[in-house]
């Protein structure tokens, strides 16, 4: 690993150089470059960015973002376990990074403290995406070879069965175990014995090593470390959410009893003899029930009083006048809700389309009911001739009655997915989508999406014709996670007539259990 300066772009970079025996293998170098390019497409705040590959005089290397910080391995070796809150913060950021990679069909395969960077501003960065995958051979792996670091391997990586994103979830579970207890779950006399141990036995429950770990947090750790991957969390997002809920239920508990563990960041230098002052252990205190109950009773009485007042005409008139005074209205609005905004007149005299109603795009008196096809604004737009719902893992339909709203030219109306019990589509399926067709095959540049949903995630695919299942769409062209409303997907100039927007996370903004797609345009 080398530090360097990019003289063309004027930025600091890091360069990872392949070992000579790997750089001398032409087949491996070809795979390595392909995987580096795939990893370079990942764009996430918790992933170390890959800028370029380099090949000169038999030396093969990748050029990446340089991080000023330290690895989690260095931090643990120097300071020991993390606090519960810091462990949750770290795992949340790593899980977000893995979620972005998995959406792009990249499995890290070597999640460990040495590949997790800690930045001074509390950001966490995961590095070495794509490199471990490049070592696989058709998976490209020599018979009997185990890839990754023995302490953090998933059981399926040890016994040679095909792996998926749940291998990364197991490794992240090992990291979580270690940052809470100070040791990994398996540490035998040699790497082979350490790797094989996880095939025979379950790890010692972490509460036996640190009794301050809440039971709910222990359950998250043990589920992530399930030997049968079918019993693990299905996605990195699911593990992150479960851990967040477990920590929230436990309150703020400091697991450390000594040593400086102030934050998940590059720690300050501590003078010898000052270790005891570096960390203050705050015991968890039960809330005082008396004041809490008294407050709830008072709030209940206040709400009852307001309700009785509003039940009378005089009361409603009073609150309407208060509302109008606050909002600066000259005339009472006639609304009966407390501080409800007045309705704005429709400039064209027609009623707005309500959620659940199909927008036809036809003028009054036109009974054809056909919406005018739309395309992306500008001269390079493609006319969208049809949009259909895509639900191969469910009942085959995902609100087809609202499809027209995704291309009606009105960002105030929207197609929405069905409502689910959680943002992971109720853990019922991996995703739902919309298929956008442009008729004849064309060169596609971008898919622009207008949405009011926060924190959603999706991938895009393209094909000559719509496929019946996700496998028929081929490789992911672009993927986005934690999307804040509108976004644009790069279609990379492919020639196709159909594009699939595959939604994998419903997001966290109202409405929290469904995604809204107001407009789709292709260019």
Q: Which positions are catalytic? A: 110
Q: Which two tokens stand for residue 263?
A: 């934050």
Q: Give the C-alpha separation, 176 to 224, whole Å.
A: 9
Q: Give the C-alpha separation, 261 to 272, whole Å.
A: 16
Closest to 515 in 3D by CA, of 432, 430, 411: 432
List the alpha helices (DSSP H) in 311-388: 313-327
Residue with tokens 């006048």: 321
Strands 116-118 and 70-71 come out as: antiparallel
In angstroms, what is the C-alpha Rg of the chain? 28
Q: Give the C-alpha separation, 390 to 225, whole Å.
A: 34
Which 3-state string (H, E, C) describes 16-68? EECCHHHHCCHHHHHHHHHHHHHHHCCCCCCECCEEEEEEECCEEEEEEECCC
Q: Give the C-alpha separation, 486 to 446, whole Å.
A: 13
Q: Which residues are bridge partners to 458 per DSSP?
A: 480, 503
Q: Give the C-alpha separation, 96 to 481, whole Å.
A: 8
Prior bond of 276 cis (ω within 30°): no
Q: Which two tokens stand for residue 196?
A: 């094989």
Closest to 338 in 3D by CA, of 326, 346, 330: 326
Q: What length is written for the chain?
A: 523
Q: Give the C-alpha separation, 121 to 335, whole Å.
A: 48
Which helix (DSSP H) or strand (DSSP E) does residue 99 occupy? helix 84-103
DSSP annotation string for 442-489: EEEEEEEEE---EEEEEEEEEESS--SSGGGG-S-SEEEEEEES-EEE
CA distances from 144 to 130, 141, 159, 229 (A): 21, 8, 8, 21
The CB-side HSE value for 39 (13 A sphere, CA atoms) comes to 31
Closest to 48 in 3D by CA, of 135, 133, 108: 108
**Biggest CA-to-CA distance, the chain:** 88
Q: Give the C-alpha separation, 523 to 384, whole Å.
A: 10
Q: Which residues are bridge partners to 416 per DSSP?
A: 516
């Amino acid at each position: 690993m080398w530090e360097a300066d990019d003289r063309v772009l004027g930025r600091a970079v890091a360069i990872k150089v392949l070992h000579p025996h790997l750089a001398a293998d032409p087949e491996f170098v070809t795979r390595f470059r392909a995987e580096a390019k795939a990893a370079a497409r990942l764009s996430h705040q918790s992933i170390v960015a890959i800028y370029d590959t380099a090949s000169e005089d038999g030396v093969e290397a990748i050029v990446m973002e340089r991080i000023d910080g330290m690895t989690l391995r260095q931090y643990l070796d120097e300071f020991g376990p993390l606090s519960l809150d810091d462990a949750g913060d770290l795992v949340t950021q790593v899980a977000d990074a893995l979620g972005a990679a998995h959406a792009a069909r990249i499995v890290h395969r070597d999640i460990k403290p040495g590949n997790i960077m800690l930045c001074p501003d509390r950001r966490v960065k995961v590095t070495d995406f794509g490199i471990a995958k490049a070592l696989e051979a058709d998976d490209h792996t020599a018979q009997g070879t185990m890839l990754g670091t023995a302490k953090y391997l998933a059981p399926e990586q040890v016994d040679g069965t095909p792996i998926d994103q749940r291998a990364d979830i197991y490794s992240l579970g090992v990291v979580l175990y270690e940052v809470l207890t100070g040791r990994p779950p398996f540490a035998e006399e040699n790497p082979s014995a350490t790797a094989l141990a996880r095939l025979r036995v379950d790890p010692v429950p972490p509460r036996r090593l640190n009794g301050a770990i809440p039971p709910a947090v222990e359950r998250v750790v043990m589920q992530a470390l399930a030997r049968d991957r079918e019993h693990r969390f299905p996605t990195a997002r699911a593990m992150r959410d479960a851990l967040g809920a477990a920590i929230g239920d436990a309150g703020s508990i400091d697991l450390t009893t000594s040593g400086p563990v102030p934050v998940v960041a590059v720690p300050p230098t501590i003078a010898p003899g000052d270790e005891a002052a570096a960390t203050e252990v705050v015991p968890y205190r039960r809330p005082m029930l008396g004041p809490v109950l008294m407050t709830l009773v008072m709030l209940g009485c206040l709400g009852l009083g307001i309700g009785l007042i509003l039940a009378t005409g005089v009361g409603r008139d009073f609150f309407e006048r208060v509302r109008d005074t606050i909002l600066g209205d000259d005339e009472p609005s006639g609304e009966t809700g407390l501080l409800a905004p007045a309705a704005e007149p429709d400039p064209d005299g027609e009623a707005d389309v309500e959620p659940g109603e199909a927008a036809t795009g036809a003028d009054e008196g036109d009974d054809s009911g056909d919406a005018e096809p739309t395309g992306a604004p500008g001269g390079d737009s493609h006319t969208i001739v049809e949009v259909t719902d895509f639900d191969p893992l469910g009942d085959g339909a995902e609100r087809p009655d609202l499809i027209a709203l995704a291309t009606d030219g009105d960002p105030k109306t929207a197609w929405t997915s069905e409502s689910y019990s959680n943002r992971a589509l109720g853990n019922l399926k991996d995703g739902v989508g919309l298929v956008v067709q442009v008729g004849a095959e064309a060169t596609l540049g971008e898919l622009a999406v207008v949405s009011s949903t926060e924190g959603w995630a999706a991938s895009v695919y393209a094909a000559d014709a719509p496929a019946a299942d996700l496998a028929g769409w081929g490789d992911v062209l672009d993927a986005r996670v934690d999307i804040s409303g509108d976004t644009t997907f790069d279609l990379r100039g492919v020639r196709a007539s159909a594009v699939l927007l595959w939604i994998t996370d419903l997001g966290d903004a109202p409405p929290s259990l469904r995604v809204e797609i107001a407009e789709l345009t292709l260019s």
